[in-house]
Structure 1
Amino acid sequence: MTDDSPALTDDPRRELAEFLRTRRTRLRPRDVGLEPGPRRRVAGLRREELALLAGVSSDYYQRMEQGRDVRPSEQVLDALARALNFSAEESRHLHSLAAAARTPARVPRPYVPEEVPPTTERLLRTMTSPALVVGRFLDVLAWSPLAGALLGEFTQRPREERNLLSLFLHPEADQTCPDRAATVAELIGMLRTQVAADPGNPRAVELVGELAVHSDEFAALWARHDVEEPIRGRMRINHPLVGELTLDWDAYPIPGTPGPVLVVCTAAENTPDAERLQLLAGLLGPAR
């Protein structure tokens, strides 16, 4: 891994600039009704083309991409989002980055670990489905007995190492998660979204820096500036005891704790997946 690996910058204006640049260079002229023209040296849109489409001066937009101290209005941000064909998630991310860039520099604060309410821990112990509490930056904070059986030795790691990205960011994970690459990309997009909502958070800075140093895959995907806000999805797991499982998952906010969510996995009824999940539950023995 080289020393110029992307990490979490302390300057929100730089984050905003890099996000706009990556999106501009991905958009082809024909995607927005422009003719590429001869002898074009760039694959994506030029800055002046995007500025024209958004109805802002090219000088103003150039200063945004340079990370200069500009404070775009909500109307300008909406115009840029339309010109760049942003999804709803990308538009929200753009506004979050711009809000952070307008906020005065924050005083560094100590890291306060996220906590799981005792009532939620009690709920997990009673749940018969795989369920886990995931923190804002993808730390696994607690889990139900059946989720523990799915996670395996991961539950024995020190607290600071129990992060969903660390679970999937190694070659061996391909054997237990057939869709590992797509899962990693989605998780990194989720992390990007949370970081934009709380730039400079000590846990985010620590996590992104560590992953960027130790994983080329993470570094490459982090540099793409993709964002995700999924609240449900599907995963495939190869478990050593019961074989392959296809599970649906849904995320539920925990009342009174902005950040951590309860992720619950289920299998469709009357399917081999449900039978295998029930078999795994039986291997756990009597409830403890």
Structure 2
Amino acid sequence: MDTPTALGEFLRTRRAQLQPEDVGLPSHGTRRRVPGLRREELALLAGVSITYYTHLEQGQSTNASDSVLDALARALRLTPDEHAHLLNLARPPRAKRAPSPRPEYARATTRRLIAAMPQVPAVVLDGRNNVLAWNPLGHALLAGHVDPASPDDPAVRPNLTRMLFLDPHTRELYTDWKSEARVALAALRLVAGRNPQDRALAELIGSLMLQSPDFASLWSKHPVRDCTVGTKNLHHPVVGPLTLDFENLHLTDGTNHRMLLYSAPESSPSDAALRMLSSLTAGPAAAPGHDAPKPASADADAGGER
């Protein structure tokens, strides 16, 4: 992930979304060569010189002050998530040789916890959306066509973002796939901005750019949005339509892992459908209370990189 390039792309996409009249500037009624605000118009709104702004957009300046970045965020009418993303892109960490990522594994305590919630679909994810563990209902809800033991093997471990764009079964699961894809990619953009040195994340994004035209098209628009809670509309191949609330609960153990949990209002049709799916689910995806098999060098408790 080339952070200076990403910063320029982000600023250009946000300029293109605003017209002069949107921000109180005259349009003069002339035909514009580029969509949205010109560089000089944005520089005027933010109170910086056109030369300085051009250098910033071209990645030639990496020392923009908080006041300048805040002024640009106001001028571009950025959301709080987009403002935070702008700061991440403009203040990349000092480049350093990143070590090869070690395989990550869900903690034994986390695996026990999701196994103890048989009526709640639960999935444990790392920061790249790799599935580290799931309980039987979580597996049946999101990926019943996938080997339930696959999260235990990093070589074949499912990745929810990759499945969303490349797996036809997952694509058919979402009632409004386009909306789901936009939200997922916007959240991935935010993660990428926070972790520009993550080589495995960059490889995931690069492979999706090559394999999925839909991903490449959406990525070029530079959407940014955090997505920790919300509602998903699914059409499950076994139990039919589902409207489920979801929450991403980030663990505080330093692993950057999170639990993705789904629920439905009590006595609702979706609650009944989840209960039916639970009754059809047989056997745990992995023995509760035990870590998945892993190399002897992996951390026996948390596993993987921190």
Worse-superposed segment, 148-157 or 125-134: 148-157
Compute the displacement of 1:243 (Å): 1.1
Aligned 1:85-96 pairs, distance under 5 A: 85-96=77-88
Between the aligned residues of both structures, percent identity stands at 38
Tell me: CA distance 1:44–1:252, structure 2 relative to 1, closer, same or farther (3 Å): same
CA distance in 1, matches of 2:240, 2:62: 55
Flag the 1:258–1:286 CA change in 2: closer, same or farther, 3 A.
Answer: closer
Residues 60, 286 of structure 1: alpha-carbon distance in 2 compared, 3 angstrom cutoff: closer
**Whole-Å separation in 2 of the counterparts to 1:184 and 1:155:** 24
**What residue is the counterpart of 1:27 in the other structure?**
18
Mark the CA change 1:133 to 1:79 in structure 2 (over 3 Å): closer, same or farther. Answer: same
The residue number in structure 1 matching 2:4 is 13
Structure 1 Cα separation of the partners of residues 31 and 216 of structure 2: 32
How far apart are the structure 2 equivalents of 1:70 and 1:168?
A: 35
Counterpart amino acid of residue 130 in structure 1? P
Structure 1 residue 39, shift from structure 2 partner: 3.0
Structure-2 residue corresponding to 1:197: 194
Classify the secondary structure of the residue corresponding to 1:237.
strand
Residue 172 of structure 1: CA displacement? 5.0
Aligned residues: 277
Task: Kindly provide the CA deviation profile for residues 243-274 of structure 1, in whole angstroms up to 9, marking residues without a partner as x.
Answer: 11111101111121352211110011111111
Instruction: Give the alignment partner of residue 98 of structure 1, picking from 90, 93, 112.
Output: 90
- Identify the match of residue 66 of structure 2 among 46, 50, 74: 74
The 2-side partners of 1:192 and 1:57 are apart by 29
Instruction: Kindly indicate whether the alpha-carbon contact (under 8 Å) linking 2:69 and 2:87 is maintained by their aligned counterparts in 1.
Output: yes
1:153 is paired with a residue of what secondary structure?
coil
TM norm structure 2: 0.85
2:178 & 2:122 partners in 1: Cα distance?
22
* Root-mean-square deviation over aligned CA pairs: 1.8
Aligned to 2:107: 117
Deviation at 1:174, TM superposition (A): 4.3
Alignment deviations for residues 1-23 of structure 1 (CA, whole Å, 9 cap, x no partner): xxxxxxx33xx222211111111
Question: What is the CA distance between 1:89 and its match in structure 2?
Answer: 0.3
In structure 2, what is the Cα distance between the partners aligned to 1:52 and 1:221?
Answer: 30
Distance in 2 (alpha carbons) for counterparts of 1:77 and 1:230: 24
Between Structure 1 and Structure 2, the one with more helix by share is 1
Q: In structure 1, what residue type is equivalent to 2:25?
A: L
Unaligned runs of 5+ in 1: 1-7
Q: Is the CA contact (8 Å cut-off) linking 1:63 and 1:70 kept in structure 2?
A: no
Q: Structure 1: which amino acid aligns with 2:230?
A: G
Q: Give deviations 1:87-112, integer Å, cap 9, x for gaps.
A: 00000001111120xx3321132112
SS at match of 1:221: helix
Partner residue of 1:188?
Answer: 185
User: In the alignment, residue 24 of structure 1 is paired with which amino acid?
Assistant: R
Between the aligned partners of 1:57 and 1:173, the Cα distance in structure 2 is 48
